[in-house]
Structure 1
Amino acid sequence: MRTYFENPLSEGPERLRLHFGAVDWACEIWINDVAVGSHTGGFDPFYIDITDALTSDSSQKLVIAITDPTDTGTQPLGKQTLTPFAIQYTAVAGIWQTVWLEPVPHSCIERVYTETAITAGTVTVNCDLSNAKSGTQVNVCAFDGETLMSQGSELVVDDSVSVPLYFDDLHLWCPSDPFLYDLVIELTDANGNVLDRADSYCGAREVSCEPDDAGHMRLYLNGSPIFHLGLLDQGWWPDGLLTAPTDEALKFDIEATLKMGFNTIRKHVKVEPARWYWHADRLGVLVWQDMPSTVFNMVEFGKQLKEGTKPEEMEWESISPGKDPEGFRSELDAMLHALQLFPSIVVWVPFNEAWGQHDTNGTLTHVMRSDPTRLVDGPSGWTDMGLGHMRDHHLYQDAEQLPEAESGRATVYGEFGGISLYIDGHSMFEKGWGYTKTESVEDFLTSYEELLAAIGSLIPEGLAGAIYTQTTDVESEINGLLTYDREYKARPEKIRSIHERIL
């Protein structure tokens, strides 16, 4: 791809960065025929400093070459395949998120993320910096609207700093009250001159996995147990596949989820643009964030299933081997790094079922050490290895039979339901696919209410969370609560009333 842009820099020491929200999968970039950088990874943001390749001309040439092996490769790709069928969808390749230019000072703020300590009444603001000199200081102010609530300053050591903010009455973030503090962060030199300034925000919250009064392990938010009732959200679109058509569309799925009475979204083997998580933060929804999985051989899986082999007993090396553990770890770390800011994310899900699952406990331990402020589900469904905060079951049949609890781990249903309903004029195919079938809205509501009644009865027995499959239809899958073009199959207030009566 080739395009042209104008150089926004004026005379001075600023540098120019070229940002990409995400490119699937590998790319090489040239500015004015000078190679400036490359990147691999289809779901993480990156930038390249292009300053030294700029010319004095008003017009600058950008060329980017992209390659994507899709499911012929070993890289994380989520649900993409060159042969779409059932639970695998049309492949994506190329630039699928926003591209922009950013002038930055030589010494600048790179990244901000926070940690909350409710008992101490503090929020620690962690900043990663570039080219910070001796005597450089970071100053942070936290606001509620126009009111200054706290401020703090710390000297920079080795291009990073942690600034604790103390609050007299810390306003916590939760789904029913998704309060966000506005942050103003300044990087100053030894003389007090402002070198860089960034606006950000934070949601003060703590998550944990603890026993309740009856001894059942529960998912806690801010010191209280909260049942996670959520939707499996694929984040696919009929026109843009991975890319939502508008910002209104991007936030619609979150708003619809909340309108139907859910409090959780499991973002399934896909990473969204940063703006989606901002919407989740401000609207108030709990997010389980999956790591995109590697290649999954649907034909081989179907063959073993037809032979009567249970998923947890299959030969997964022939179905979905993790052939590039170093590449997987690199993209996993990039996801953790990029999304650490967002308070709505409360659970990391490194593996979905056995799709590319490898070095399971080593990977889960790595994630828990990398981010101790969140829970780790490991893995979601099927081939559990005994580690992780949650023991996650995928039960599309016999969901009313609660599996035996494991000591020290919360019992959750990472997937259940999947009731299909075909809506004429709103499906890609005349025949769709789902785990169970209904023929009318009335039949669907009856089946859904019976299923949710069973789920509700398991909560006192120890069930800590349940994720229904799924938010929307996707291509040949018709088990969404919404159609692929985002029409409600049943009135959202009806779905909400079922939840309120049962849960």
Structure 2
Amino acid sequence: MRSFLITASFLALAPAAAQAQAAPPPAGDAVYTSNLVTRWGREVTPENAWRLYPRPQMVRERWLNLNGLWDYAIAPKAAGQPAAMDGKILVPFPVESKLSRVARKVTPDDRIWYRRSFTVPAAWQGEHVMLNFGAVDYEATVRVNGSVVGSHKGGFDAFGFDITPYLKPGANELVVEVTDPTSAGTQPRGKQILDPSGIWYTAVSGIWQTVWLEPVPKLHITEVRAIPDIDRGTLDVAVALSGWANDTDAVRLTASAGGKVIASTIIRANRRATLKVPGARLWSPDDPHLYDLKAELVTVRDPYAGEKERDRKAYDSRFTFHEQQVYSRAQVSGAPRDSVDAYFAMRKISIGPGRVQGQPAILLNNKPLFQNGTLDQGWWPDGLYTPPSEAAMKSDIVFLKKAGFNMLRKHIKIEPARYYYDADKLGMLIWQDMPSGGGEDQYLAGTSRYQAVFPSETMAEQQKQLSEMIGELRAFPSIVMWVVNNEGWGQYDSATLTRFVKGLDPSRLVNANSGWLDVAPDASDVLDIHTYEDVPKTPPLQANRAIVLGEYGGVGFPIAGHIWRPGKGNWSYQVARDEKDYLARYRRKMEEVVRQAREAGLSASVYTQTTDVEDEINGLLTYDRAVPKAPPESLSDIAAPLWRVETQD
């Protein structure tokens, strides 16, 4: 989304909106929170705040949710832990949000302190206990009973620590301290800014996803990576454990559909296997079929027992077909030591011949499928980064499906893992952006001709967080494209980063630069332009990559009583007078998208945007999700010709 306003329109609200009751102006370090609250936000309590298991691709049966009211304090960064806390905060909502019950600013010179106690269930006696965080923005240090158990840097990825050595009988004290430079730093942060306005939104700090405990054995499963191959009818599965394994440590994999086992094997721990999936039912937006996958850490009898020169044979067989054979026949002793439930889909995303000769297209399951999407910011008036609930989060996807969209571009934000689970279940394709970083002087302009310059340490940290995003999210089949850069915001060496991403995950498409400076034509799978003109521009023909509109649209329509700052000028690219005018403007843009798909071979388009966000009113929905700017059925009817394009001769 553009950071300059040449094509934008500023508008004053209608008199009815201007007269709406505004929230009191912030005083001291208070954050402006508006009067807008979603219907889900009104139902949030300390007892029901985000209660579902937070990791749907690695489900364990036993766990303890630590969300709820914690003690908190905000103090100078240079000071030690305060003797007295400031009050209570509702975790997992960020400090600046209304739902946190705090709504205070956090500056780069501040440190947030969290504190609560917990008791480990007696049934976990003798097991190792993991303390897990869905996400903390930005740099966290964690203490249990006064001892530092670990630190983490990064605002979007999950992390955890084995806290077993630090536990004691009865109540244990957990303290988390967090610092966050927000827009004063160069770290990945997306659209957060300390002085929000226009397309830049209220800063978010601290714990903003679920915190939980779970018991595991010392050696346990940490990741299950499943990559489908619909052309071979197979699923490649790699299972990573928390440490080194012995010859008798193995993993049993079981794939099933509707409770019926379709494939099973045993592999040595920290290895991979290939499962056959005969007659696969392919995942698509119209048929989002998912298969179940279970991984169990088991003990097997010595697979090499009786072989001549047993030790030499076992050593020479590492990572060979012979090793796969002997472990697949190994006998399991006793019950599984660890077990996780996951799932997978048989689907393929690729570039290939499209409808227009000479212009490659994006293919789903080897066939062209136009991807009609929205730019999806993922912000909420009451929870900011944190949706009020999973039901609230899921409602956005449900609305988009009704409105004729089969894709969304998750715009420089990473969601809680359950969001991608909902997309998998509902059949919504996702383009996942890497959250932008960099300082103001490292943001390219639309006229820039070369990329930003960063210190090596900064680049290394951004690349680390890029790889963590991919590592955490590659299990979700709904994600079909990684977007490395948005409009040059902190863009550097994008060709190298694109090849880096392709190396990490060759099963998906990579979009090097969404909008503006296209400097990776040989690495990127798509040419992506942004066009906020009344009639969208057409990307130029590309011989070796697909063409897409990574952003277009931006029709603003203020709805009285559903405005973030009543009485203040709001921001949009265009302004609609009423619903009829709104639909006419939307239709004009969509008709051009249809023409480009039919005549130019356009593969995808991303309309700005799903919802209003703070001062920005470009949404199909109001910020509180209470009012659609037009009926979703009308939007779907306007988009319907897109699906006929693929079936025309």
Distance 1:369 1:175, change over 3 A: same
Which residue is equivalent to 1:394?
Answer: 530
Paired amino acid for 2:595: S
Q: How many pairs does the alignment contain? A: 490
Which residue is equivalent to 1:336?
Answer: 470
- Does the 8 Å CA contact 2:451/2:492 hold for their aligned counterparts? no
Distance 1:97 1:297, change over 3 A: same
1:296 and 1:85 map into 2 onto residues whose CA distance is 17
- Aligned partner (choices 401, 409, 433) of residue 545 of structure 2: 409
Distance 1:256 1:335, change over 3 A: same
- Does the 8 Å CA contact 2:138/2:205 hold for their aligned counterparts? yes
Which residue is equivalent to 1:167?
Answer: 277
The one-character-per-residue Cα deviations of 1:47-68 (angstroms, maximum 9, x if unpaired) are: 0111101113x10000111000
- Does the 8 Å CA contact 1:294/1:322 hold for their aligned counterparts? no
- Aligned partner (choices 353, 364, 371) of residue 505 of structure 2: 371
* Aligned residues with identical type, % of pairs: 42
- Does the 8 Å CA contact 1:9/1:16 hold for their aligned counterparts? no
- Aligned partner (choices 285, 288, 291) of residue 428 of structure 2: 285
Which residue is equivalent to 2:597?
Answer: 459
Q: Within the alignment, does 1:114 sit opposite 2:235 as a pair?
A: no
1:85 and 1:332 map into 2 onto residues whose CA distance is 27
Secondary structure at the counterpart of residue 467 of structure 1:
strand
Secondary structure at the counterpart of residue 572 of structure 2:
coil
Which residue is equivalent to 1:60?
Answer: 172
The one-character-per-residue Cα deviations of 1:1-53 (angstroms, maximum 9, x if unpaired) are: 11100023557542111000000000111100011110000000000111101
Q: Which runs of 5+ in 2 are unaligned?
A: 1-113, 302-331, 644-649
- Does the 8 Å CA contact 2:359/2:542 hold for their aligned counterparts? no
- Aligned partner (choices 212, 237, 246) of residue 354 of structure 2: 212
Paired amino acid for 1:390: V
- Does the 8 Å CA contact 1:321/1:356 hold for their aligned counterparts? no
Secondary structure at the counterpart of residue 486 of structure 2:
coil
Distance 1:317 1:378, change over 3 A: closer
* TM-score of the pair, normalised by structure 1: 0.94
1:11 and 1:270 map into 2 onto residues whose CA distance is 36
Paired amino acid for 2:525: H
- Aligned partner (choices 436, 448, 461) of residue 313 of structure 1: 448
Secondary structure at the counterpart of residue 475 of structure 2:
coil
2:369 and 2:641 map into 1 onto residues whose CA distance is 17
1:267 and 1:61 map into 2 onto residues whose CA distance is 37
Q: Within the alignment, does 1:494 sit opposite 2:637 as a pair?
A: no
- Aligned partner (choices 178, 185, 197) of residue 85 of structure 1: 197
Which residue is equivalent to 2:289?
Answer: 179
Secondary structure at the counterpart of residue 570 of structure 2:
coil
Which residue is equivalent to 2:583?
Answer: 445
The structure that has the greater radius of gyration is 2
Which residue is equivalent to 2:622?
Answer: 483
Paired amino acid for 2:294: V
Q: CA RMSD in A?
A: 2.0
Secondary structure at the counterpart of residue 273 of structure 2:
strand
- Does the 8 Å CA contact 2:124/2:215 hold for their aligned counterparts? no
The 5 A counterparts of 1:344-383 are 344-383=478-517
Secondary structure at the counterpart of residue 463 of structure 1:
coil
Superposed structure 1 runs of 4+ greater than 4 Å apart: 9-13, 314-318, 320-323
Which residue is equivalent to 2:340?
Answer: 198
Q: Within the alignment, does 1:238 sit opposite 2:381 as a pair?
A: yes
* TM-score of the pair, normalised by structure 2: 0.73
Secondary structure at the counterpart of residue 313 of structure 1:
coil
Q: Which runs of 5+ in 1 are unaligned?
A: 305-309
- Does the 8 Å CA contact 2:354/2:601 hold for their aligned counterparts? no
* TM superposition shift of 1:167: 2.3
- Does the 8 Å CA contact 2:394/2:422 hold for their aligned counterparts? yes
- Does the 8 Å CA contact 2:186/2:439 hold for their aligned counterparts? no
Q: Which has the higher strand share?
A: 1
Which residue is equivalent to 2:249?
Answer: 136
- Between 1 and 2, higher relative CO (CA 8 Å, sep ≥ 6) is seen in 2
- Does the 8 Å CA contact 1:268/1:289 hold for their aligned counterparts? yes
Secondary structure at the counterpart of residue 457 of structure 1:
helix
1:96 and 1:351 map into 2 onto residues whose CA distance is 24
Paired amino acid for 1:201: Y
